[in-house]
Amino acid sequence: MFPSTMVLAIHYAPFAYILIGAILRNMDANLEEAATILNTPKWKIFFRITLPMVAPAVISTILLVFSSAMGSFPVPYYLNLTTMATKYVEMSVSRIGEASILAVIMMVFGVSILALNLASTGGRKSYTTVTGKSGQISKVDLGLGKYLIAVVFILLTLFTSIYPIISFAMETFLPNPGDYSFLTKGSLGSLTLKWWITSENVTEKGMYGQYGILFNSTIWAAFKGTLIVAASCALLAGTIGTLVGYSVSKNRRSKWATYVNSMAFLPYLLPSLSVGVAFFVFGSNIGIYNTYLLLIIAGTVKYIPFASRSALNSMLQISGEIEEAAVIQNIPWYKRMFKIIIPIQKSSIISGYMLPFMTSLRELTLFMMLASQTKILTTLLSYFDEMGLYAFSSGINLMLIITILICNAAVNKLTGASLDKGIGGD
């Protein structure tokens, strides 16, 4: 259990930072400065002022991570941990009835999480933190602690980011999967480029009739399909989620707003496998199985909560007074959105589009039942793993990582929004 817990915790830590980090960044410094002037201790400022202000974002993030980890399949599966998700896959073929019971149990957990989430954001407290914002930034002197924190994060980055990337890259140059004998022999001559540049169909050298990555039309077709699905899911889920977040934030005490918010959040609480099975039945009955359309529909429904939660958390920070002048002049809501709301929370909204995009790029559990193994990169990666062609699967991992880094850097350069600054980061 410990390995799976650690891997999932490390995996979801950036997700928590994305959702919470910029909410803290956007807070008005005056809220804490007033307490500082009164010589209030730092710990009391944090627990009495800072934490209550970001409570909706913190609670929503905890619930999102909990529900996502509960339905996670690949990590427990590869680390040999039995969970409801892995048991569901095991039973879904031979014991459909029992598998359905497991799905219902997970849905009950999901509904309970939804109720907790509604309680966290549906109260009568105001969480407005963006009005006329102070430009002053207060820094905390960490003393010698800054060196300890630096060392911890350097080691964490090394083992969770840099080492895996180097490992993926090295795997694509090994003559045989897992053969690191060149390290003990001190000879680089045994390394090979065959996994990259083989331009003919060969059965020798462990290629199993596959072309090298650079010449493999199947890999590049899957890469194109992945981009189509990810971009479409991001556009649709981001737009719908932003509108839902705006509507709920403006009418959050309305029963209809609560209902809309619940329906928008519900897909995330359902296990990805359950959603995949539902769309498999749906797609098979209307003849769109193994099409981009089915993948886009499933991805959009599944990832609307990402955009809606990020939009809602940021919209709750905006004071209604900011729009009042425009409302008095009878300016339509869509003009207020483009002229007032979006400029203020531009980074938050754009980041809300990026999160479904990045998630769609690496999604396997949701899409594995909706398309053939060569349709998109993640299912193709799973196929190569099953075949024992780990160099190809490592190469695909590198392609996905590089694509995500390039997209994040491009959006950051063009708009100032970036996932590494959190949703809403400036």
pLDDT per residue as tens digits for the range 240-259 = 988 888 888 877 777 787 78
What span, in angstroms and rounded, lies between the C-alpha atoms of 233 and 231? 6
Residues 336-373 as b/e (b if ≥16 CB within 10 A, e otherwise) read bbeebbeebbebbbbbbbbbbbbbbbbbbbbbbbbbeb
* Helices and strands (DSSP H and E) totals, the chain: 22, 0
Cβ count within 10 A of residue 69: 18
Residue ranges in the chain whose pLDDT is less than 50: 124, 126-127, 424-426
SS (H, E, C) 115-154: HHHHHHHCCCCCCCCECCCCCCCCCCCCCCHHHHHHHHHH
Length of the chain: 426
What span, in angstroms and rounded, lies between the C-alpha atoms of 106 and 206? 42
CATH assignment, 2-127+216-421: 1.10.3720.10
Q: What average pLDDT does the chain have?
A: 80
* Four-CA torsion 64, 20, 333, 250, nearest 10 degrees: 70
What span, in angstroms and rounded, lies between the C-alpha atoms of 130 and 125? 15
Which stretches of 252-330 are assigned E, i.e. beta strand? none
Q: Cα separations (Å) of 335 from 245, 326, 387?
A: 17, 9, 54
Rounded to two decimals, the pTM is: 0.80
What span, in angstroms and rounded, lies between the C-alpha atoms of 77 and 80? 5
What span, in angstroms and rounded, lies between the C-alpha atoms of 66 and 71? 9
- Please give the DSSP secondary-structure letter assigned to residue 426: -
Burial class (CB in 10 A: 0-12, 13-18, 19+), 148: exposed
What span, in angstroms and rounded, lies between the C-alpha atoms of 194 and 307? 42
Which stretches of 257-363 are assigned E, i.e. beta strand? none
The full set of domain ranges for the chain reads 2-127+216-421
| Contact (Cβ atoms closer than 8 angstroms) between residue 41 and residue 140 | no
DSSP states along 365-393: TTTTTTS-TTSSHHHHHHHHHHHT-HHHH
What span, in angstroms and rounded, lies between the C-alpha atoms of 125 and 119? 11
Q: Is 318 helix (H, G, I), strand (E, B) or coil?
A: strand
φ, ψ (nearest 5 deg) of residue 71: -100, 10
What pLDDT is stored for residue 124 in this prediction? 44
Cβ count within 10 A of residue 101: 12
